[in-house]
Amino acid sequence: MRQLGISGAWVHEPKVFPDSRGSFHEWFKGPDFAESTGHDLRLAQANCSVSARGTLRGIHFADVPPSQAKYVKCVRGAVLDVIVDIRTGSPTYKQWEAVRLDDADHHSVYLSEGLGHAFLALTDDAVVVYLCSEGYAPQRERGINPLDPDLGIEWPAGIEPLLSDKDAAAPTFAEAEAQGLLPSYADCQAYYGQLRGQ
């Protein structure tokens, strides 16, 4: 697991073993995960989405605590996965980082509680699976418009984004901040400390 530029986010780059039958790789290893993050992955829910090319999902996040950490992998096709630091007071506040996830390199990303998450399907029938530390709770779920020009995420040119009505109507980053929807870095750090202490 390699830590990304945003604290609380990692990319897992497994060794892939190809042969005449196909290939094999380990996409999650508990001991390696715990060594990198300082805690075990609590698994409460596993999701699978199938997306047409251009589908843009996010930016999604949940109230802290407990929020929802995610371990994300693309098992068919390719997506551009984006992690956004929405934690007020963070050294990397309002910064984002993109990682290509596909069925060739088999990379995965982990984003801690309190970070924003979005992805754009680069291929048709892109299948993304993600392990979640908490179950879906509508009353705690939040969103930011992924096309907010002030945030400036560099989505690939030549792909028309297809958003759900909910994501298209999500507030801008500035609106979410003004409405007090964003988690604080201090609250997130305190929660990470609780996880490491368990």
- CATH number of the domain that residue 70 is part of: 2.60.120.10
Q: Contact at 8 Å (CB) between 74 and 103? A: yes
The active-site residue out of 130, 185, 191, 192 is 130
In whole angstroms, what is the distance from residue 33 CA to residue 158 CA? 36
**pLDDT confidence of 198, banded at 50, 70, 90?**
confident
Domain that holds residue 55: 2-14+26-197
Closest CA to 196 of 115, 91, 113: 113
In whole angstroms, what is the distance from residue 2 CA to residue 18 CA? 23
Question: Does the residue 20 lie in any domain?
Answer: no
Question: Does the residue 172 lie in any domain?
Answer: yes
Question: Does the residue 60 lie in any domain?
Answer: yes
Above 90 in pLDDT, residue 197?
Answer: no
Amino acid 12: pLDDT: 97
Question: Does the residue 107 lie in any domain?
Answer: yes
Helix (H, G, I), strand (E, B) or coil at 162: strand
The active-site residue out of 12, 39, 60, 107 is 60
Q: What is the pLDDT averaged over residues 131-155? A: 97
Amino acid 195: pLDDT: 93
Q: Catalytic: 60? A: yes
Average pLDDT of the chain to the nearest whole number? 97
> pLDDT tens for residues 50-97?
999 999 999 999 999 999 999 999 999 999 999 999 999 999 999 999
Question: Does the residue 19 lie in any domain?
Answer: no
Question: Does the residue 105 lie in any domain?
Answer: yes
Question: Does the residue 46 lie in any domain?
Answer: yes
Q: Catalytic: 117? A: no
Question: Does the residue 68 lie in any domain?
Answer: yes
Quote the number of domains for the chain: 1
Q: Please, which residues have CB within 8 angstroms of residue 23's CB and are 6 or more apart in sequence?
A: 16, 17
